[in-house]
């Protein structure tokens, strides 16, 4: 049985990862579809920008988010002054940092699904008079559904384990931004906290493995439905 504190940490983690995945999914679909077009102008630049969080240290990503979305940053200052929205050191900020770090994984899964679609189908649809938007919504999205589901759940599972960017941009605030990795780190900094860290590590592992298994199940079900 989980303690009340462990339930709180798990719920914060699930909430942060879920918000990050849902918020980034539309942009990930757009980026993946654009990257799947071989003749897209500036394709290599877009591809580099999308995958940049994979090669930068997570702490640096969190620091850059602070510079842009912090209270003194150009975007963060505007949001707080105009709408009273504070991203830094908040659960919304934790979700933003998680979304940035898991975004490349999401885009990659979606891009592979778009690229696996038979181009002849789009050519036939164009001959029949379907416009670009019609082809996207009636063909590209339904055919890429397995990849979209798998990419979303994989990004969610990866978001549960994000540490560096979250602790830098959102800090480790119990009940608000303290996710499982941050709670494990805090427990390890406490004398005698090894047993608590081990329990949290087990919870984190179960949540991550469950997310990956769910991604595989959803992808299989979606493929069977499309095949039928």
User: Which CATH number applies to 4-227?
Assistant: 1.10.3720.10
- Give the rounded percent of residues in the chain with a pLDDT score beyond 90: 49
CA distance 178 to 89: 10
Q: Are 85 and 130 in contact (CB under 8 A)?
A: no
Q: What is the 3-state secondary structure (H, E, C) of 181-223?
A: HHHHHHHHCCCCCHHHHHHHHHHHHHHHHHHHHHHHHHHHHHH
Looking at mean pLDDT, say which of 109-123, 134-148, 152-166 comes out highest: 152-166
pTM to 2 decimals?
0.88
Does residue 218 or residue 204 have the better pLDDT? 204
Q: Are 80 and 90 in contact (CB under 8 A)?
A: no
For residue 46, what are its two tokens? 């877009």
Can you give the residue ranges of every domain in the chain?
4-227
Res. 227: pLDDT tops 70 = no
With cut-offs at 50, 70 and 90, classify the pLDDT of residue 24. very high
At residue 222, the pLDDT reads: 66
92 pLDDT tier (thresholds 50, 70, 90): very high
Per-residue pLDDT, averaged over 204-216, amounts to: 83
CB atoms closer than 10 angstroms to residue 41: 7
- The string of DSSP letters for 127-175 reads HTT--HHHHIIIIIHHHTHHHHHHHHHHHHHHHTT--HHHHHHT---TT
Dihedrals phi, psi of 163, to nearest 5 degrees = -130, -60
pLDDT in tens, 149-205: 888 888 898 899 899 999 999 999 998 999 999 999 999 998 988 999 999 999 998
Average pLDDT for residues 26-32, to the nearest whole number? 93
């Amino acid at each position: 049985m989980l303690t009340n504190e462990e339930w709180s940490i798990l719920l914060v983690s699930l909430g942060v990862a879920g918000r990050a995945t849902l918020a980034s999914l539309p942009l990930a679909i757009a980026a993946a579809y654009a990257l799947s077009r071989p003749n897209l102008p500036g394709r290599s630049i877009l591809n580099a920008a999308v995958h940049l969080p994979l090669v930068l240290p997570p702490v640096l990503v969190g620091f850059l988010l602070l510079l842009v979305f912090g209270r003194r940053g150009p975007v963060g200052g505007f949001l707080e002054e105009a709408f009273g929205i504070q991203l830094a050191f908040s659960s919304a900020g934790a979700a933003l940092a998680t979304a940035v770090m898991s975004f490349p994984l999401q885009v990659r899964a979606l891009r592979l699904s778009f690229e696996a679609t038979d181009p002849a189908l789009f050519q036939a649809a164009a001959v029949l008079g379907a416009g670009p938007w019609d082809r996207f919504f009636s063909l590209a999205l339904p055919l890429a559904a397995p990849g979209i589901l798998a990419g979303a759940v994989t990004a969610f599972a990866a978001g549960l384990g994000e540490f560096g960017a979250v602790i830098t941009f959102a800090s480790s605030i119990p009940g608000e931004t303290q996710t499982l990795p941050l709670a494990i780190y805090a427990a390890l900094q406490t004398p005698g906290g090894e047993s608590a860290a081990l329990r949290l590590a087990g919870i984190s592992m179960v949540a991550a493995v469950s997310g990956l298994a769910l991604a595989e199940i959803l992808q299989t079900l979606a493929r069977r439905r499309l095949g039928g």
